Structure 1
């Protein structure tokens, strides 16, 4: 039986098993637990595989599988108080990895606590760096020799970064040679050998980008502008001296990929690739500095291979796993002895990992499974997800994600799920815990990419400026009304969201009381004046430059537009909120301090609408701990069932 036949047989067996079982809602833990299988990274030669997994443990550990021996994976590093992430091979026998610890304070979500290195057998483990950092580049090994150096970024008081070469054997650091870059650099790019090519700076609301050509010691300024008027965005470099950028095109201002023309001093007019209806959201797929393809997200992720051999291999993989996103990562890509890892996933399946060896070890087959991303998820019970394009009341095109319960027919009670940010893209096609959980409980889930969201053109993004509670909120309501008109959603609906989504939940209840039966607002900036101005008595992580320059443009000026800010502040409009509300906050939140929730709770109580109050003592801006994610989902389930009765 071929590998293709094995996959089809397994899928058919699962489907037949399901027809003989009563469909029951899967446990909450199934949706909100940490992934069983995280990153899977091939060593430079492709002979070893690093795996991040928490199977059988409380924390994410690091294991290594020697592919040449056909052996089992061996755990080489594990920390009972932290999760391992971001693995980098420095050769076939040594790795570096970051550790995220749960006790590093409330703002731990994007800041690794420490950087370690270890041999692939678990020996010679060494702590290299403590505190906030990122790995910029691990130079490709030359002639198969091991590489002991890492080019990393160290943060300076959260305002700039310094590149450092770090020796993983002895733990020493030094600044790169000829580093004479402009001050206030917050971002860098390097080629495959770690030569710095791009520096991006930010200071006093001015952003600038600088370029250093291969073999040059001079930095060339590419642009300088205020932070909200950057003429193009830098996406990557290659070893040949090419710079790849995205610039806005057309009336909607979609950001598409092109090369930078150094002779003309601007991006080329010709685009390498266009993504109509979407910004180019992705990056370059390279091997030793050579561009092999482009990986980006439109509705879902796709890879456009420029290398003919890799394009042929991708076509073959897509035939084996049809109707899915099949992400290929490889070593000796396209060569007769290629080794590749395929992560195959869909909107109903978090994914499965497979290993391909064009020349497998003796007794091995070319294909073999590595593991499931999340054990316990039954794809046949999961909901389907689609992207719709509708028109908002003023004619603006509005992308809307719809997740419908499996085999759902006719209108269903709806949950409008508003993403946070708001200045980011809300979703992409794939399996997502919260909408899948809600759909498993019988609800259709409506997720609008309201104006202000990124990923859908500059015009869509900027249309959200100074529109909190106004046109942005109209988009959310219009998405639900569209779903009701189309027979997807019934007249029973609640609105839910975290962070900006929590703010939108509150303003949705205030603006459209007849549209929603309830709301669940998590980590919501409920006092808009406090969010914009800050307070000497309440610490948060919004910097003074952001408050001085960005928020007045994107949200509103608290001094000159005080009336508008008050009209769009949930604390000031609490009396207009009549529906039942659940408020959820983290007591260690530095993005939206607990005072936002406490002030809103008092205002709603004074207006005669006591909210359901939930606060988590050990959480910041979001839910980090599994026990809290499960507790929150249980409370949501009961609250929604009470008011929507699916």
Structure 2
């Protein structure tokens, strides 16, 4: 949100704030939400949601909105339910993960299951792992191999009750097939499927409409118009070349929506595709100044495009349909200064039903139900809260700024800070991972809120190389690890100090690339930071770029050969730069206290990165604080580990900043 909008939010928070004897416990921020997913049935008469409330594990609950009866349809003692979708008014599909076992286990095959809304007739459709017993109830020879994934659940129209979903088998080539969720039987998809497909994109009815193919180092985008059997080539480029546009969505009538950069270095816009000109239409459909278009086309059960949900600093929706525009206004009026995301059924009809997720920086979210034809009383009713134990008045405000970096470049920055704080606060500069991703969106975010609750102002820069802020900002990060990218991080803190937001007490922290940046911050700017915390951190650029055979990581060979030399550095041509910007090679320059944490099963940044830096620092006479988690990969998933690390980080920061 803009700073002006945030001031209104801050004022409201101050009115409702109460003095806190102690900050909330760490578990409040990191435990599973009370409502993780919520999906309306095709008719809008039932609501399926996932929750761990009163059960320990995340299960599936179905609520009949007419009677108010709730049924716990699926609940396991050793697995958590995720990715719930309605197949029809009676049948649902979902997957499962064992989150408590750690992220290494959660990276496995989640499987696919079907069940009726009343909790009966559960059928495993895709194997979760090699087992065929236990409470997940494999039926011998019926469940498909884990190389099958769910591609699309077709939209259900009035009077329909189809039980099939569209799957895709990946055995070196992509093969779509229809799967019956009641019998487990499969049948082939009629019509031609492009050879060498690496991505298949169906419409709302499950008909293949677009595809990406890869052959001989050439990437092609294909399109098949409604009612046609032949495929039309939209473009063909080198595998690692920049595509002329990205396919963002389409409707069942054959409108294709694409995002593209209208000029060199410009931010991406959304346009319709002109098939006669074989290019995006000259006049964009949606422009988000200062931000790349990032969003989804909303299509109803009849395959009509209703609007576009997109993100700038915060999420918003541009509706095409007048009834949805009116509903958005009706939701926004009593719930101002919030994001109100609409999910509708029978959209725009006299008996429309909608579920609104309303959230803000202070509030993880409330669910509101809208029924155009209620049985009695108001059309609006509250359906639940995402996190019941989070008090919005106790949470911090998050706002977005654009500042100027030392070389004159635009630098987006997020600030999270308690509303009742007075004057400059000790700062935690929290650097996002990736690095080629977007770091933040205006919302309630557990990590930043936890740190703010401990009395810190959290500074999160969208340093050059981050996505979402224009092509020029992204490409300015190429070959700038530890250099201009790192200067952006330092400049964000210096700006916050000059503005009186942050004091001269600061630590730098982050995970993955963010952990790398935390280490290089201590190397490059020792006078700026009193301490650093790096978890899952890259420490050795040569190891990252070279990837010796004995290192068990998941970085692909093509990525190392074709992309990393351009984006990070060439092992031969940039050898001096790589050494100068590898924390393990500069370990003697890290003099501030350092907390290092790793997942022992991490395949993105293997544990050896941390072990090498620990050894180098020990040899330099500077022992870091060290912690590892046996069951974790590239991220801490188990609640016990998330809370343990948060508490260690809290104690570490308090020791050096308070």
TM-score exceeds 0.5: yes
> How far did residue 178 of structure 1 move?
1.4
Task: Indicate how the Cα distance of structure 1 residues 566 and 612 shifts in structure 2: closer, same or farther if over 3 A, else same.
Answer: same
SS in 1 for 2:635: coil
With 132-141 and 74-83 compared, the bigger mean Cα shift is at 132-141
Contact 2:541–2:581 (8 Å) recurs in 1: yes
Task: Indicate how the Cα distance of structure 1 residues 188 and 105 shifts in structure 2: closer, same or farther if over 3 A, else same.
Answer: farther
Q: What is residue 121 of structure 1 aligned with on the other side?
A: 118
Mapped pair 1:191 → 2:203:
yes
Distance in 1 (alpha carbons) for counterparts of 2:295 and 2:105? 25
Contact 1:98–1:112 (8 Å) recurs in 2: no
Q: What is residue 88 of structure 2 aligned with on the other side?
A: 91
CA deviation string 1:188-209 (max 9, x = no partner):
2111111101112345654321
Mapped pair 1:233 → 2:230:
no
Distance in 1 (alpha carbons) for counterparts of 2:477 and 2:16? 48
> How far did residue 175 of structure 1 move?
3.1
Mapped pair 1:145 → 2:187:
no
SS in 1 for 2:54: coil
Pick from 583, 607, 610 the counterpart of residue 620 of structure 2. Answer: 607
1:344-363 superposed matches below 5 A: 344-361=358-375, 363=376
Structure 2: which 5+ residue stretches go unaligned?
1-10, 128-145
Task: Indicate how the Cα distance of structure 1 residues 372 and 142 shifts in structure 2: closer, same or farther if over 3 A, else same.
Answer: closer
> How far did residue 186 of structure 1 move?
2.5
Q: What is residue 5 of structure 1 aligned with on the other side?
A: none
With 293-302 and 135-144 compared, the bigger mean Cα shift is at 135-144
Contact 1:87–1:96 (8 Å) recurs in 2: yes
SS in 1 for 2:560: helix
Distance in 2 (alpha carbons) for counterparts of 1:480 and 1:206? 44
SS in 2 for 1:638: helix
Distance in 2 (alpha carbons) for counterparts of 1:454 and 1:117? 37
Distance in 2 (alpha carbons) for counterparts of 1:388 and 1:28? 28
Contact 2:103–2:638 (8 Å) recurs in 1: no
Over the residues paired in the alignment, what is the CA RMSD in angstroms?
Answer: 2.0
CA deviation string 1:154-198 (max 9, x = no partner):
3336xx543221111111223311133030x22221111111011
SS in 2 for 1:399: strand
Mapped pair 1:395 → 2:408:
yes
Distance in 2 (alpha carbons) for counterparts of 1:203 and 1:406? 55
Q: What is residue 5 of structure 2 aligned with on the other side?
A: none
Q: What is residue 466 of structure 2 aligned with on the other side?
A: 453
Distance in 1 (alpha carbons) for counterparts of 2:13 and 2:288? 36
Pick from 94, 98, 108 the counterpart of residue 101 of structure 1. Answer: 98
Q: What is residue 44 of structure 1 aligned with on the other side?
A: 42
1:557-572 superposed matches below 5 A: 557-572=570-585
SS in 1 for 2:92: strand
Q: What is residue 4 of structure 1 aligned with on the other side?
A: none
Task: Indicate how the Cα distance of structure 1 residues 86 and 106 shifts in structure 2: closer, same or farther if over 3 A, else same.
Answer: closer
Distance in 2 (alpha carbons) for counterparts of 1:438 and 1:205? 46
Q: What is residue 208 of structure 1 aligned with on the other side?
A: 220
Distance in 2 (alpha carbons) for counterparts of 1:112 and 1:325? 33
Mapped pair 1:573 → 2:571:
no
Mapped pair 1:293 → 2:307:
yes
SS in 2 for 1:550: helix
Q: What is residue 136 of structure 1 aligned with on the other side?
A: 151
TM (norm. structure 1) is 0.94
With 110-119 and 98-107 compared, the bigger mean Cα shift is at 98-107
Distance in 2 (alpha carbons) for counterparts of 1:219 and 1:591? 37
Structure 1: which 5+ residue stretches go unaligned?
1-11
1:61-80 superposed matches below 5 A: 61-68=59-66, 70-80=67-77
Contact 1:113–1:132 (8 Å) recurs in 2: no
Distance in 1 (alpha carbons) for counterparts of 2:382 and 2:285? 35
How many residues are treated as equivalent by the alignment? 629
Mapped pair 1:441 → 2:454:
yes
Q: What is residue 312 of structure 1 aligned with on the other side?
A: 326
Distance in 1 (alpha carbons) for counterparts of 2:616 and 2:344? 57
With 111-120 and 516-525 compared, the bigger mean Cα shift is at 111-120
Task: Indicate how the Cα distance of structure 1 residues 107 and 222 shifts in structure 2: closer, same or farther if over 3 A, else same.
Answer: farther
SS in 1 for 2:544: helix
Distance in 1 (alpha carbons) for counterparts of 2:98 and 2:445? 24
1:584-595 superposed matches below 5 A: 584-595=597-608
Q: Which has the higher contact order (CA 8 A, sep 6+)?
A: 2
Task: Indicate how the Cα distance of structure 1 residues 213 and 329 shifts in structure 2: closer, same or farther if over 3 A, else same.
Answer: same
Distance in 2 (alpha carbons) for counterparts of 1:22 and 1:397? 38
Distance in 2 (alpha carbons) for counterparts of 1:27 and 1:396? 40
